[in-house]
Amino acid sequence: MSDVPPLLEIAELTVGFRTDDGVVQAVRGFDLQVDAGEIVAIVGESGSGKSVSAMSILQLLPPSATIEGAVTWAGENLLEVGENRIGQVRGDEVAMIFQDPLSALNPVYRIGYQITEMIHAHRKVSGRQARERAIEMLRLVGIPQPDRRVDQYPHEFSGGMRQRAMIAMALSCDPQLIIADEPTTALDVTVQAQVLELLVDLCHRLNTAVILITHDLGVVAGMADRVTVMYAGRVVESGVVDDIFDRTAHPYTAGLLASLPRLDGDVDEPLMPIAGQPPSMLDPPPGCSFHPRCPWAKEEAGCMTVVPENIERNPGHFSACHRADELMATESLVRIATGAP
């Protein structure tokens, strides 16, 4: 990577939630760098801490969360800035797109109002200018008749349209970074690809960086520049897409990849799930959190006792596995995923 400081740098982010049963350790030392215009995917199962990490960037977590670490944005640690400054960053410099556009939009306000409200929060413009900007943005995301649609309510939009409107809103103040938290999970399969392509395409054109949070590695393959795989609140592997897909260096990543249905595979071939359940974050397993489910876990390697460090195995390709060297010497993905010799 270059000498230019990254757009966003998250270091040693740790997030816990106080509950009646104890502290849920949602994120345990998360690192991420995003350069300008880059598309970075965070992949992991539900509960792996990916959404929580993203929410903490803009201080959007509830007060019950305790956050440590640093989120460096434009030379400042966003975790420590005051209400006014974070208000400036939110929406204007860093915008967010959420999972379910129906619940993420306020049902009682018109789409146009919800967009202009954000423009007014950050720009000194007239009502007419803000409205024109909103229409322009709706046109940009491919909503037909935007000058009419701007006055409609969210329930009058289809699911895909709503998410397009969310994208329009997110882009309306020209942010440098968009955090998209599973932006297509709540949508019909048929429109998922359309919406995602639209987002990625627009961000490429506008040179907006994207943090794309998803549990679908298939989505990542075609869209992202780099991928970070999370498990149980930690990064287990990160690198460019080709590293992750072709030179997989963590059994969890291999498990995710092997569980994908393939278009070119045998139809009768059963899908390969990862056995077991993600651990409880109230009391995560010692050592490598993945070891109870890992076919490669070995006492002698320290899997059960020592937390593996996330080490750079090849330039830009990090893996947190005690047996990464052995994995990287293994050709077959299925063999990595199953641990078969």
Partner 1 sequence: MTSYILRRMLQLVFVLWGGATILFLLFFILPGSPAELIAGGGHKAVDPQVVKNIEHQLGIDRPIYVQYVKFLDRTVHGDLGESYLTHQKVTTIIKERAPLSLRLAFWAIVVEVVIGISSGVLSARRRNSLADTVTTVVAVVASAVPVFVLGYLIKQVTGVYAYQHQWPSWARFPPLGFGPNTWYLGIIPSRLQLKSLLQPALVLASVSTAILARITRTSMLETLRMDHVRTARAKGLKESVVIRKHVLRNAMLPVITILGIDFGTAVGAAVLTETVFNLRGLGYRIVTASAQRDVPIVLGLSLVVMFVYGIASVMVDVGYALLDPRIRLRDSDA
Nearest 5°: the CA angle 71, 73, 74 is 150
Q: Indicate whether 88 belongs to the interface with partner 1 (CB under 8 A).
A: yes
Closest to partner 1 by CB, 101 or 146: 101
Which span (109-117, 216-224, 235-243, 294-302) binds partner 1, by CB under 8 A? 109-117
Smallest distance from partner 1 to CB 103, Å: 4
**Long-range contacts of residues 70-79, Cβ cutoff 8 Å, at least 24 apart:** 70/9, 70/10, 70/11, 70/12, 70/13, 71/8, 71/9, 71/10, 71/13, 72/8, 72/9, 72/10, 72/11, 73/7, 73/8
Q: Is 216 in the site for partner 1 (CB under 8 A)?
A: no
Residues 6+ away with beta carbon under 8 Å from 298:
322, 323
Contact between 287 and partner 1 by CB under 8 A: the answer reads no
Q: State the minimum distance, in angstroms, from the CB of residue 160 to partner 1.
A: 18
Question: For partner 1, which stretch binds (CB under 8 A), given 11-19, 115-123, 124-132, 320-328?
Answer: 115-123
Under the binding rule (CB under 8 A), the answer on residue 158 touching partner 1 is: no
95 lies in the binding site for partner 1 (CB under 8 A): yes
Single out the segment in contact with partner 1 by CB under 8 A; choices: 21-29, 97-105, 135-143, 259-267.
97-105
Q: Does 153 bind partner 1 (CB under 8 A)?
A: yes
Interface with partner 1, residue 149, by CB under 8 A? no
Total chain residues near partner 1 (CB under 8 A): 28
Which residue of 17, 30, 73, 98 would you call a contact of partner 1, by CB under 8 A? 98
- Backbone φ and ψ of 199, nearest 5°: -60, -50
CB 65 within 8 A of CB 17: yes
- Token readout for 124 is 């000194």
Cβ atoms 259, 251 nearer than 8 A: no
Contact between 187 and 222 (Cβ < 8 Å): no
Phi then psi dihedrals of residue 98, to 5 deg: -105, 170
Contacts with partner 1, residue ranges (CB under 8 A)? 58, 60, 83, 87-92, 95-96, 98, 100, 103-110, 117-118, 121-122, 153, 155, 169
